[in-house]
């Protein structure tokens, strides 16, 4: 891929109201060959959870007034979003789904609760599952259109934004942040990535987990050592390079393969 960047026809990106989501949205728009369609979901201006909006930037990349799109934890609203995307992309399908929605509740093992665990798992693990299931037909269509090409993010792919905190082997930064609910939800998301890769790989859809660095949620106070700009650039460079041999694997924003 090199300097030409990530070439992809259509992208749907969840959770663009700030942080990495917004960074990736800007980064996609600034690619040398930007996507024809970028569907970006985010919370409404009043910040009400569960009422995200979707932008279709179209060919001119100037966002139009948003179309309602509801939250990744609500199957009916995801279905409505699928129909809106289908209206725009037609039979070319959706090339790239980036499951970026994520939440946490600051917790230690001593303070962890069933409520925290349920809330965080619902958004971080069930959300990407439901979104991936719903967009599968459009991803399959995209993979078929490009049927002769090798697996790649340009053809058809699901990218789950995960975290090194979900790595059981590494178990990073325990002293800095226990965040049990977050760690468990991301470990489960990584297993979901593997399940998606095993099931959807046969249809030509590449599925990976990506740790964007200490962006969301930041480790400890303030933000981590990685800026949103660095993370976004690194993630987009990585996505441009991934191929069939990388299906069902875990990466960081530096382009390094991570242990589960």
Structure confidence by residue, pLDDT tens digits, 210-245:
999 865 444 444 445 688 889 999 999 999 999 999
pLDDT value at residue 22: 82
pLDDT value at residue 224: 56
- Fold observed for domain 10-257: Rossmann fold (3.40.50)
pLDDT value at residue 10: 94
Reduced DSSP (H G I as helix, E B as strand, rest coil) percent helix, strand, coil of the chain, to 5? 40, 15, 45
pLDDT value at residue 41: 78
pLDDT value at residue 5: 79
pLDDT tens figures, 175-210: 888 999 999 999 999 999 999 999 999 999 999 999
pLDDT value at residue 106: 85
Longest CA span, the chain = 53
| Helix residue ranges, H only, 65-179 | 75-89, 114-121, 127-145
- CA–CA distances in Å: residue 47 to residues 43, 44, 50, 110: 6, 5, 9, 31
| Helix residue ranges, H only, 102-173 | 114-121, 127-145
pLDDT value at residue 86: 93
pTM: 0.89
How far apart CA 66 and CA 80 sit, in angstroms, is: 14
pLDDT tens figures, 152-180: 999 999 999 999 999 999 988 888 889 99
Question: Where does the chain show beta strands of DSSP type E?
Answer: 10-13, 37-42, 53-56, 67-68, 96-99, 157-161, 206-211, 249-252
pLDDT tens figures, 79-104: 888 988 999 999 999 999 999 988 88
CA 6, chain centre distance (Å): 15
Compute the residue count for the chain. 260
pLDDT tens figures, 112-149: 999 999 999 999 999 999 999 999 999 999 999 977 78
Report the percent of the chain where pLDDT is more than 70.
82
pLDDT value at residue 3: 53
Closest by alpha carbon to 208, among 184, 240, 180?
240
pLDDT value at residue 222: 47
Q: What contacts 46, CB < 8 A, 6 or more positions away?
A: none
pLDDT at 60 exceeding the cut of 70: no
Q: What contacts 238, CB < 8 A, 6 or more positions away?
A: 210, 251, 253, 255
pLDDT tens figures, 2-28: 456 789 999 999 887 678 888 898 899
Confidence of residue 67 (pLDDT cuts 50, 70, 90): very low
């Amino acid at each position: 891929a090199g300097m030409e960047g990530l070439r992809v026809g259509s992208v749907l990106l969840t959770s663009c109201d700030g942080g990495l989501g917004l960074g990736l949205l800007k980064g996609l728009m600034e690619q040398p060959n930007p996507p024809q369609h970028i569907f970006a979901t985010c919370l409404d201006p009043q910040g009400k959870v569960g009422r995200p909006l979707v932008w279709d930037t179209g060919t001119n990349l100037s966002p139009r007034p948003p179309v309602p799109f509801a939250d990744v934890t609500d199957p009916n609203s995801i279905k409505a979003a699928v129909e809106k995307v289908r209206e725009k992309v037609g039979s070319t399908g959706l090339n790239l789904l980036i499951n970026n929605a994520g939440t946490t509740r600051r917790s230690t093992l001593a303070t962890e609760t069933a409520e925290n665990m349920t809330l965080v798992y619902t958004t971080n693990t069930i959300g990407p599952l439901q979104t991936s299931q719903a967009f599968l037909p459009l991803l399959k269509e995209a993979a078929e259109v490009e049927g002769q090409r090798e697996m790649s993010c340009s053809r058809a792919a699901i990218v789950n934004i995960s975290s090194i905190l979900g790595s059981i082997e590494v178990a990073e930064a325990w002293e800095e942040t226990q965040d049990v609910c977050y760690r468990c939800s991301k470990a489960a998301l990584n297993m979901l990535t593997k399940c998606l890769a095993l099931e959807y790989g046969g249809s030509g859809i590449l599925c990976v987990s990506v740790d964007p660095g200490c962006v969301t949620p930041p480790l400890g106070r303030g933000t981590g050592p990685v800026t949103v700009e660095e993370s976004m650039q690194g993630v987009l460079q990585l996505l441009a390079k991934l191929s069939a041999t990388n299906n069902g694997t875990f990466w960081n924003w530096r382009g390094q393969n991570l242990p589960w």
